[in-house]
């Protein structure tokens, strides 16, 4: 298997749904768009905001404005309405002890990703944390992976771990295998259709898939 593991953040390392959906709802209301109740805004978790807002009726010419408004809500409060998934820190400890090089590749702005991982004392497990940049030139998952490879050119022997088809497809653009996880915000069938090498349903199963130490049932 690969010697490097790239992890998505939202829906893979941390359950960030509450903060993202709350801030998305406030942003839609700012534009007079009534958000759905419950988990109706789950689709905001994972994809770049530049892709999400137009799907909810924000005109393309106002998307950058909507992103600024969203982040005005998200930075002071929303990004910490969040928690690491049960067992993820133990998984990272084991993988690092096994000698794997660990990285984060997220479409979330990089400074926010670092702040979140620092808050939950997870940053120490990662050799690099790479996210979106403000000019929009690094935004999609494929672009983020490309930026990670630019910064760490010796980390190309890698596998991507994520919870949406965006992670799987982004990895495929770099001829990289990807593993989906079912505890996040994407649909298993979408990840399978996108070409996920495997789907993990627990931290133990993800560890087994990554290390191939056990036969899957």
Residues designated catalytic: 8
Q: Looking at the DSSP assignment, which residues form a beta bridge with residue 178?
A: 160
Would the CA dihedral through 24, 86, 4, 163 be positive or negative?
Answer: negative
Q: Residue 107 in contact with residue 52, Cβ under 8 Å?
A: no
The alpha carbon dihedral of 131, 136, 142, 143 has a sign of negative
The DSSP annotation for the chain comes to: --SEEEE-SBTTTEE-HHHHHHHHHHHHHHTTPPPPSTTTTGGGSSS-HHHHHHHTT--GGGHHHHHHHHHHHHTTTGGGS-EEPTTHHHHHHHHHHTT-EEEEEEEEEHHHHHHHHHHTT-GGG-SEEEEE-TTSSS-SHHHHHHHHHHH-TT--SEEEEESSHHHHHHHHTTT-EEEEETTSSS-HHHHHHHT-SEEESSHHHHHHHHH--S---
Place of tokens 């990089």: 110
């Amino acid at each position: 298997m690969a010697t490097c593991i790239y992890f998505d953040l939202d829906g893979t390392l941390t359950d960030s749904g509450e903060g993202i959906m709350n801030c998305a709802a406030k942003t839609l209301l700012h534009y007079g768009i009534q958000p759905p109740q419950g988990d109706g805004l789950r689709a905001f978790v994972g994809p770049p905001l530049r892709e999400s807002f137009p799907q909810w009726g924000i005109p393309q010419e106002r998307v950058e404005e909507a992103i600024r408004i969203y982040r005005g809500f998200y930075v002071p409060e929303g990004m910490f309405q969040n928690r690491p998934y049960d067992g993820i820190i133990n998984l990272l400890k084991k993988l690092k002890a096994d000698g794997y090089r660990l990285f984060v590749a997220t479409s979330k702005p990089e400074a926010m990703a670092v702040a979140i991982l620092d808050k939950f004392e997870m940053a120490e497990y990662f050799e690099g944390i790479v996210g979106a940049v403000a000019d929009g030139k690094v935004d999609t998952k494929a672009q983020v992976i490309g930026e990670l490879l630019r910064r760490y050119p010796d980390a190309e022997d890698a596998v991507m771990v994520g919870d949406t088809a965006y992670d799987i497809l982004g990895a495929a653009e770099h001829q990289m295998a990807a593993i989906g996880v079912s505890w996040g915000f994407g649909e298993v069938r979408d990840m399978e259709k996108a070409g996920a090498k495997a789907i993990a349903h627990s931290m133990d199963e993800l560890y087994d898939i990554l290390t191939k130490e056990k036969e899957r049932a």
